[in-house]
């Protein structure tokens, strides 16, 4: 009767720039899911997974209660993620917000308390757009998210993890993009936004987030 419901969406980079490092992304996602399942296997944590590359190739597993049955399906979804061209991060973030808002409104949770977004990327978004909303560039999409996110989801926390990928060619470019990424972290502090110097630390970082 006193159990609380939380939604979580993992927004994972599946761009070609990761190459063989993509296994680190999968293993980190497996580890996060395993830790959450061990402490909350009865459906009070509601999880969705988005693997983003280009907009058409972005792969989405809708939010659902984490239970014994869905745990296996979530692991299979992670296992089947593949890399493709593009890094439509802001498009994926918008889909995560829309999906969460819709799930909250569906009434499927008895005692909803908050939402959580966990994001990993290694590259710059240069492809997100939505012409129907006059969003014609990735910068436009980022500004749209910043303006509308809190009106869509009133209570949420967001962790963002960044590793410098091969498509980042200079420090000015990196600093500009990292500034955007840090603004997606809520609260905006060093615990919720972190740049890792090596992708082999990704699994331990996700484990740390899951523990928290």
pLDDT digits (tens, 9 = 90+) for 29-43: 999 999 999 999 999
Terminal-residue alpha carbon distance, the chain: 24
Residue 115 in contact with residue 96, Cβ under 8 Å? no
Task: Using pLDDT thresholds of 50, 70 and 90, give the confidence band for residue 152.
Answer: confident
* CA–CA distance, 197 with 202 (Å, rounded to integer): 10
Q: pTM to 2 decimals? A: 0.95
Q: What is the dihedral of CA 200, 205, 208, 210, to 10 degrees?
A: -100
Q: Contact 96/138 with Cβ under 8 angstroms?
A: no
Average pLDDT of every residue of the chain = 94
Q: How confident is the model at residue 123 (pLDDT cuts 50, 70, 90)?
A: confident
Q: Is the pLDDT of residue 1 over 80?
A: no
């Amino acid at each position: 009767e006193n159990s609380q419901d939380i939604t979580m969406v993992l927004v994972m980079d599946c761009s070609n720039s990761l190459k063989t490092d993509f296994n680190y992304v999968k293993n980190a996602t497996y580890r996060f899911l395993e830790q959450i399942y061990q402490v909350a296997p009865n459906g009070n944590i509601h999880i969705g997974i988005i693997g983003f590359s280009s907009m058409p190739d972005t792969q989405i597993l809708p939010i659902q209660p984490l239970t014994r049955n869905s745990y296996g399906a979530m692991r299979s979804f992670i296992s089947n993620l593949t890399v493709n061209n593009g890094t439509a991060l802001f498009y994926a973030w918008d889909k995560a917000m829309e999906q969460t808002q819709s799930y909250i409104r569906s009434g499927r949770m008895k005692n909803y308390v908050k939402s959580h977004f966990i994001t990993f990327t290694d590259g710059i978004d240069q492809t997100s757009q939505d012409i129907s909303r006059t969003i014609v560039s990735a910068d436009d999409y980022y500004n749209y998210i910043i303006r509308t996110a809190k009106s869509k989801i009133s209570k949420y926390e967001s962790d963002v993890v960044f590793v410098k990928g091969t498509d980042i060619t200079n420090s000015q470019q990196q600093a500009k993009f990292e500034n955007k990424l840090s603004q997606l972290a809520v609260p905006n502090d060093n615990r919720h936004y972190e740049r890792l110097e090596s992708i082999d630390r990704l699994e331990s970082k996700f484990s740390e987030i899951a523990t928290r």
